[in-house]
């Protein structure tokens, strides 16, 4: 759903017939799915986990990367985001670091939100990334330029 809305939104300034039809299909789908939502199951895991990924230079017209992340609270999907990066990165590792930076802001925010609604237990926070170069750079402080 997020991908379809992103594509249609990029062409809002000049809506051709195909994009208008796509927009109507999206609205028709949303209208038909009222009442559906996310299911949160009871889970013994008391942690906040973030998963990030980036697609380096994925947009053909401007060579910008797309980054995305999702966060799980106690094993349940809580937040997610998929967005074109505002800068042009020079490598896939740099694109991954930008995705991680956005998710790193989300994890403490979720922890603070849980504390504000009186969830006072200690929770661990974990971040996962699938890019080997990014992981190696983060483990070696000499390469953090």
Rounded average pLDDT over 141-145: 62
Looking at domain 39-143, does it have CATH number 3.30.420.10? yes
Between 106 and 143, residue with greater pLDDT: 106
pLDDT tens digits, one per residue of 4-43? 877 788 887 777 888 888 888 988 988 888 877 767 777 7
Rounded average pLDDT over 90-112: 83
User: What residue spans in the chain does CATH classification 3.30.420.10 cover?
Assistant: 39-143
Least confident of 47-51, 52-56, 60-64: 60-64
pLDDT of residue 59: 65
Q: Which residues of 80-101 are buried (b: 16+ CB within 10 A; e: fewer)?
A: eebeebeeebeebbbbbbbbbe
């Amino acid at each position: 759903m997020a991908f379809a809305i992103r594509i249609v939104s990029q062409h809002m300034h000049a809506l051709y017939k195909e994009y208008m039809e796509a927009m109507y299909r999206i609205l028709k789908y949303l209208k038909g799915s009222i009442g559906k939502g996310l299911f949160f199951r009871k889970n013994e895991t008391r942690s906040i986990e973030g998963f990030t990924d980036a697609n380096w230079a994925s947009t053909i017209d401007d060579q910008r990367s797309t980054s995305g992340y999702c966060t799980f609270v106690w094993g349940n999907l809580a937040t997610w985001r998929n967005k074109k990066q505002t800068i042009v990165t020079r490598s896939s590792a740099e694109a991954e670091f930008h995705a991680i930076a956005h998710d790193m802001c989300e994890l403490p925010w979720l922890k603070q939100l849980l504390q504000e609604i009186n969830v006072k237990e200690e929770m661990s926070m974990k971040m996962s990334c699938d890019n080997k170069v990014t992981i190696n750079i983060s483990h070696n402080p000499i390469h953090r330029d």
